[in-house]
Amino acid sequence: MSESTSDATFEQDVIEAKTPVLVDFWAPWCGPCRMVAPVLDRVNAGTQGKARVLKLNVDENPATAGRFGINAIPTILVFRDGKVEKQLVGVQPESVYLTALGL
């Protein structure tokens, strides 16, 4: 299962990370978000320490969601060296997420 991040921990968890980080901006009421969760769990299992997969609940963490202009969910942002490298909106195949992480 993917770990969570929050407004309070985002800087340390994502921006300062030494490896690529895929962040799933989601909410519990979002049907497509529930559809993508098991896909991202498989991606997380396949990263083998080369990357991290984190979830950020947009309802509970509006500051970070606003900071990155999240206006549709699920939105997936891939960060490398503290910067957004890729943005994916909606449910994608597992291979798309792995490619976005460079794996």
Q: Could you state, in order of their start, the residue ranges of all structural domains in the chain?
A: 3-24+31-100
- Whole-model pTM over 0.85: yes
Q: Which contacts qualify for 29-35: CB closer than 8 Å, 24 or more apart?
A: 30/73, 30/74, 32/73, 32/74, 32/90, 32/91, 33/73, 33/74, 35/91
Whether residue 26 contacts residue 17, with contact meaning beta carbons closer than 8 Å, is answered with no
- Give the residue-averaged pLDDT of 78-86: 97
pLDDT at 1 over 80: no
- Give the residue-averaged pLDDT of 65-86: 97
How much is the pLDDT for 43? 95
Catalytic (active-site) positions = 30, 33
- Residues 3-24+31-100, CATH architecture: 3-Layer(aba) Sandwich (3.40)
- Reported as a pLDDT band with limits 50, 70 and 90, residue 49 is confident
